[in-house]
């Protein structure tokens, strides 16, 4: 990279322009959205139902069915701890069994946003009086529901679910279920790349 300049800095993301030197020596400009990354949680109960939340998303202008997820916004916090925190804060649940479903970049052509999708099983509801976190902003209005995993897969294939991390998580969980989740990585395994 030959040069980089910040175009705009926001609360969650920063937009920068990089001047990139190509192998032939030519220089090209590329805009990059710097993003801290995120985690998501595909939580399955003992009946094979998927925990989903419905949340308003301003950029897309509507309500979306999603899986619990959140930013990697606590410096030094392990990804598993971030995922456990998000599951508790957004849905009020804890899980005893954690695995990695997928690691990916949401849009590597323009953004640094990197996601890790976890599978959480052996789910228990945490009583309200034991929860320290109070939902606010968009989270204050979210709703929670349990959906059979095959029904969620059908919704993805029908084009009825539009949240990218939910789509990746749902299809990954459905595929991983075929061998009883035996091929999944441990939740503590570091990201690759």
* 2-60 tens-digit pLDDT: 789 999 999 999 999 999 999 999 999 999 999 999 999 999 999 999 999 999 888 89
| Number of domains composing the chain | 2
Q: Are residues 182 and 143 in the same domain?
A: yes
Asked if residue 191 is part of any domain, the answer here is no
193 falls within a domain? no
pLDDT band with cut points at 50, 70 and 90 for residue 142:
confident
Cβ-proximal residues to 54 (8 Å cutoff; 6+ apart), any chain: 63, 64, 65, 66, 142, 143, 145
Q: Does the active-site annotation cover 89?
A: no
50 in Cβ contact with 67 (< 8 Å): yes
Q: Which of 3, 86, 130, 139 is catalytic?
A: 139
- Tens digit of each residue's pLDDT (9 = 90 or more) over 144-173: 999 999 999 999 999 999 999 999 999 999
State which H helix or E strand residue 168 sits in.
helix 164-176
Q: Which helix (H) or strand (E) holds 65?
A: strand 62-66
Q: Is the pTM of this model over 0.85?
A: yes
Q: How far is 124 from 109, CA to CA, in rounded Å?
A: 39
pLDDT for residue 117: 98
Q: Are residues 156 and 118 in the same domain?
A: yes
Question: What's the angle, vertex CA 161, arms to CA 160 and CA 167, rounded to 5?
Answer: 140
18 and 107 housed in the same domain: no
Q: How far is CA 14 from CA 8, 83, 92, 102, 162, in A?
A: 6, 23, 31, 25, 24
Whichever domain contains 96, its CATH number is 3.90.79.10
Same domain, 138 and 175: yes
Geometric angle at alpha carbon 100, from 108 and 65, rounded to 5°? 70
Look up the domain containing 12 and give its range: 3-33
> Would you give the distance in Å from CA 129 to the centre of its chain?
27
Q: Are residues 75 and 161 in the same domain?
A: yes
65, 26: one domain: no
């Amino acid at each position: 990279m030959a040069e980089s300049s910040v175009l705009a800095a926001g609360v969650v993301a920063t937009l920068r322009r990089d001047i990139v030197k190509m192998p032939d020596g030519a220089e090209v400009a590329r805009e990059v959205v710097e993003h801290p990354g995120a985690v998501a949680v595909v939580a399955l109960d003992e009946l094979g139902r998927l925990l989903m939340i419905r949340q308003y998303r301003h950029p897309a202008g509507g309500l979306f069915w999603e899986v619990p997820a959140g930013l990697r916004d606590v410096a030094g916090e392990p990804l598993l701890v971030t995922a456990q925190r998000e599951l508790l804060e957004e849905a009020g649940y804890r899980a005893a069994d954690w695995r990695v479903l997928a690691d990916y970049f949401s849009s590597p052509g323009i953004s640094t946003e990197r996601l890790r999708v976890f599978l959480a099983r052996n789910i228990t509801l945490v009583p309200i009086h034991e929860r320290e976190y109070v939902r606010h902003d968009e989270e204050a209005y979210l709703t929670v529901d349990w959906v059979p995993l095959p029904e969620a897969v059908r919704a993805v294939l029908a084009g009825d679910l539009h949240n990218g991390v939910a789509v990746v998580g749902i299809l990954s969980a459905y595929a991983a279920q075929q061998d009883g989740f035996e091929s999944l990585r441990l939740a503590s395994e570091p990201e690759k790349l």
